[in-house]
Structure 1
Amino acid sequence: MIPDLEQTFRWFGPSDPVSLQAIKQTGAVGIVSALHHVPCGDVWSLAEINKRNNMIKNAGFRWSVVESVNIHESIKLGLPEREGYIENYITTLKNIANAGINIVCYNFMPVLDWTRTHLDYKLANNASVLRYEASALAAFDLYILEREDAFKEFSSTRQVAAKKYLDSLSGQEKELLTNTILAGLPGTDEVFTVEQFKEYLKKYHEIDGVALKNNLFYFLRAIIPSAEEAGIKMCIHPDDPPFSILGLPRVAATESDLQDIVNSCPSVSNGITLCTGSLGARADNNIPGIIARLGQHIHFLHLRNVERETDGSFYEAEHLAGSTDMYQVMKSIVHEQIQREKAGREDIAIPMRPDHGHKILDDCNYNTYPGYSVIGRLKGLAELRGLELGIKRTLLTTKE
């Protein structure tokens, strides 16, 4: 029997309202965590890594994946001072390896991490989910941020819809929309002001998708030899959403992008985090096909689903519902595991976590990080483990 995927849960550390004791009841065996209190660009000391690792071990888990060691904007911008930050990054990777952890997830999105317009969108069953609404994003970009180039980028139809959306909001709702879009990194309460964000946009004015991708390749060529020597597998997370927003370019939005990234510095240490939610927000991303063609480079799995809408909006759907066929995704993952077993690879039990759960039942009584409720993710994990088991039993029986 092919080993199960390693079932993991993201934990933001001691301040996370979702405790390790609660996670223990989900059936997860691994933890995905990061030192969010260490400023971006600083070295993670071995002492701090071991402190977190001991918390995780003492609760009966393995620290399976570091998500994320965030990348300083100087590296993304290609500034001269990037060399010092790259050296810090390499030192952090060596310390992580010395603590016995060997998978590091990261992303290369400029300024903002994943972006949504609503953090409490209610479904028909009253579950609370995350949502990206195209008209809301355009309303912010055009009439709150007042980005000059936005008026050249949005069609007249979208501008009219955005203005209509803006006019429907109260002052408090406009502030909420602004704070939601300009939220900082996961695990922090940081929110950029409009003026702060405008300053960042000025820095990126001359950085297009090609330039940003070249800066990513420079970063990878600098760190991957050290990562490989230390036994660390780096895996880039796709952009979320996987298209340009607010004038900021994207580098990991399509299969072609991911192929470029693994080709830029060929190594077992230069890999991919397969996020079915991020990639699934684009209808032209064939996720089972991506797994079939790039599966050997996948070191980590984020399994979630989104429901796409015709205007480019989407919301977080049930894990087994939405616009992505999760059955075909899981079947492709299992086939990749079979190929790994035949090749004699040791990394068959790929770490997997249920991503972005709905807020349901008692979740509503806790102020958890957006998308990281405990019961909603437990429901997703249970569905995914059942799907995996069913597919594996079928493949084993039919010799498919």
Structure 2
Amino acid sequence: MALEKTWRWFGPNDSIKLSELRQFGVEGIVTALHHIKGGAVWPVEEIMQVKEEIERHGMRWSVVESLPVSEGIKQNNSDRKQLIENYKISLRNLASCGIDTVCYNFMPVLDWARTDLHFVSESGAESMLYDHATFAAFDIFILNRPNAKQDYPEDILAEAKQIFDKMTIDEQNTLAFNIIVVTQGFINGTVGNVQNYKQVFLDYLSKYDDIDKDVLRNNLLLFLEDVIPVAEEVGINLCIHPDDPPYPLLGLPRIASTLEDFDWIFSNYPSRANGLTFCSGSLSVREDNDLVKIAKRFGERIHFVHLRNIKRIGTRSFYESAHLDGVVDMYEVLKALLEEQHQRMANGRKDHRMPFRPDHGLKILDDFNRTSNPGYPLIGRMRGLVEITGLEIGIERSLS
């Protein structure tokens, strides 16, 4: 047996076509209805159109990534009731089409953050980098978020000022646009490519002024109490994605970053349908996260797996590296996941596929001649898929 090999595909506008993916062993597709505005109902007709297109190419729609959780739900505001109802209807519609795994996140406003989308390693491969001092420069001096300086230690403040002083106006605007718009634009971002994007972004942030970690946790629990019973009824596994990066940014709380966070989430709503997207790249940014321990502790509720690697380069700073080359002990992580899969099969669980995808990838070779979303080149991810598959075969032989 092996984990189901999946691939994130961004729909008809993706430069990587479904007809290409079967050629190198992809079994399932991870995608979403990206053209539907967040918070709206996903109609059966639209779901089936995508599902049938995937199946025409000999694959299955394995995971929805993601069915977005709207800001109104995270904030528990006046729109929440209708947004929750729409979410429930979408879950029912997905289940009626035979889709059983839905990944989501509960990160306020900003889904993920990087400060350099074209970081070049010594080999000449290109990946993405997050530098905490550069992010502080954006937050304090470019975005001008009120009281932002209070969130950073003195050494980061000093470094951020030095970085900002050396930046041209064009470099400042590029950094802000990449953080607010480019990295979010293909995943139902909150702001969009509007002229006053920085002010719109600040307005979104201000709505969390009175929402701390405890309040956001409570809002997540309210969400789970509303939607998990529907998920259980229709046979869908929901799986929360870890925060990326896994610590507070922009004064916003983070509630899915550590083992303690997941303990809280799963102990407060213990249904197995309340599950985890195990993302090795996001979790490994924190040195205090023991990935193997997390994989074993919550193994029975890991419904989806993202495998990638990073290298740390300072306080809260990192860049994305090759899948088998970084701080993640991919052998031990994958071994723990395969052991969980064996246990599920022994117990007769139907959800033993445990779909994984090579998350992000280095831009290499002909990737430089193709267009792709940040972090999602063809050949770099193909390399990751092949490396993980080879490692998986060796582990499987050792287990049997």
TM-score interval w.r.t. the shorter chain? over 0.9
Residue 309 of structure 1 and its aligned partner are, at CA, apart by 2.1
**Alignment equivalent of 2:256, drawn from 238, 252, 256:** 252
Q: Secondary structure at the match of 1:6?
A: coil
What amino acid maps onto 1:353 in structure 2?
Answer: R
Q: Secondary structure at the match of 2:351?
A: coil
Report the Cα distance in structure 1 between the residues aligned to 2:240 and 2:393, rounded to whole angstroms. 27
Q: Which residue of 2 aligns with 1:175?
A: 173
Query: Would the aligned equivalents of 1:262 and 1:297 in 2 still touch at CA under 8 Å?
Result: no
Q: Secondary structure at the match of 1:120?
A: strand
Report the Cα distance in structure 2 between the residues aligned to 1:260 and 1:43, rounded to whole angstroms. 29
Query: Would the aligned equivalents of 2:37 and 2:188 in 1 still touch at CA under 8 Å?
Result: no
Residue 158 of structure 1 and its aligned partner are, at CA, apart by 1.0
**Alignment equivalent of 2:350, drawn from 346, 354, 373:** 346
Report the Cα distance in structure 1 between the residues aligned to 2:13 and 2:186, rounded to whole angstroms. 13
Map of 1:1-400 to 2, 5 A cutoff? 3-183=1-181, 184-187=184-187, 190-191=192-193, 193-396=197-400
Report the Cα distance in structure 1 between the residues aligned to 2:329 and 2:238, rounded to whole angstroms. 27
Report the Cα distance in structure 2 between the residues aligned to 1:149 and 1:208, rounded to whole angstroms. 16
Query: Would the aligned equivalents of 1:23 and 1:374 in 2 still touch at CA under 8 Å?
Result: no
Residue 344 of structure 1 and its aligned partner are, at CA, apart by 2.2
Q: Secondary structure at the match of 1:15?
A: coil
Report the Cα distance in structure 2 between the residues aligned to 1:270 and 1:332, rounded to whole angstroms. 20
Q: C-alpha offsets along residues 152-202 of structure 1, whole Å, 9 cap, x if unaligned? A: 221221111001111222221111110111123534683461101111111
Range with bigger deviation, 40-49 or 301-310: 301-310
Report the Cα distance in structure 2 between the residues aligned to 1:145 and 1:380, rounded to whole angstroms. 36
Range with bigger deviation, 331-340 or 374-383: 331-340
Assess, with a 3 A threshold, how the Cα gap between structure 1 residues 68 and 185 changes in structure 2: closer, same or farther: farther
Q: C-alpha offsets along residues 38-89 of structure 1, whole Å, 9 cap, x if unaligned? A: 0000000000001111111111110000000001111000113201100000
* TM-score, length of structure 1 as denominator length: 0.96
What amino acid maps onto 2:122 in structure 1?
Answer: A
Query: Would the aligned equivalents of 1:242 and 1:278 in 2 still touch at CA under 8 Å?
Result: yes
Report the Cα distance in structure 1 between the residues aligned to 2:17 and 2:70, rounded to whole angstroms. 29
Q: Secondary structure at the match of 1:376?
A: helix
Report the Cα distance in structure 2 between the residues aligned to 1:254 and 1:268, rounded to whole angstroms. 19
Q: Secondary structure at the match of 1:32?
A: strand
Report the Cα distance in structure 2 between the residues aligned to 1:174 and 1:23, rounded to whole angstroms. 38
| Structure 1 portions without partners, runs of 5+ | none
Range with bigger deviation, 343-352 or 119-128: 343-352
Report the Cα distance in structure 1 between the residues aligned to 2:7 and 2:212, rounded to whole angstroms. 35
Report the Cα distance in structure 2 between the residues aligned to 1:171 and 1:155, rounded to whole angstroms. 26
Report the Cα distance in structure 2 between the residues aligned to 1:392 and 1:246, rounded to whole angstroms. 43
Report the Cα distance in structure 2 between the residues aligned to 1:222 and 1:78, rounded to whole angstroms. 13
Query: Would the aligned equivalents of 1:104 and 1:233 in 2 still touch at CA under 8 Å?
Result: yes
Q: Secondary structure at the match of 2:298?
A: helix
Query: Would the aligned equivalents of 2:277 and 2:303 in 1 still touch at CA under 8 Å?
Result: yes
Residue 385 of structure 1 and its aligned partner are, at CA, apart by 0.6
Residue 148 of structure 1 and its aligned partner are, at CA, apart by 2.6
* TM-score, length of structure 2 as denominator length: 0.96
Query: Would the aligned equivalents of 2:44 and 2:93 in 1 still touch at CA under 8 Å?
Result: yes
Residue 149 of structure 1 and its aligned partner are, at CA, apart by 2.2
Range with bigger deviation, 234-243 or 162-171: 162-171
Report the Cα distance in structure 2 between the residues aligned to 1:46 and 1:349, rounded to whole angstroms. 24
| Structure 2 portions without partners, runs of 5+ | none
Residue 371 of structure 1 and its aligned partner are, at CA, apart by 0.7
Q: Secondary structure at the match of 1:63?
A: strand
Q: C-alpha offsets along residues 277-314 of structure 1, whole Å, 9 cap, x if unaligned? A: 01011111101001111100100000001111222101
- CA root-mean-square deviation: 1.2
Range with bigger deviation, 187-196 or 56-65: 187-196
Report the Cα distance in structure 2 between the residues aligned to 1:111 and 1:250, rounded to whole angstroms. 11
Report the Cα distance in structure 2 between the residues aligned to 1:358 and 1:118, rounded to whole angstroms. 13
Report the Cα distance in structure 2 between the residues aligned to 1:341 and 1:58, rounded to whole angstroms. 29
Report the Cα distance in structure 2 between the residues aligned to 1:128 and 1:176, rounded to whole angstroms. 18
Q: C-alpha offsets along residues 314-372 of structure 1, whole Å, 9 cap, x if unaligned? A: 11011001111111101111121222223222222210000001111111111201111
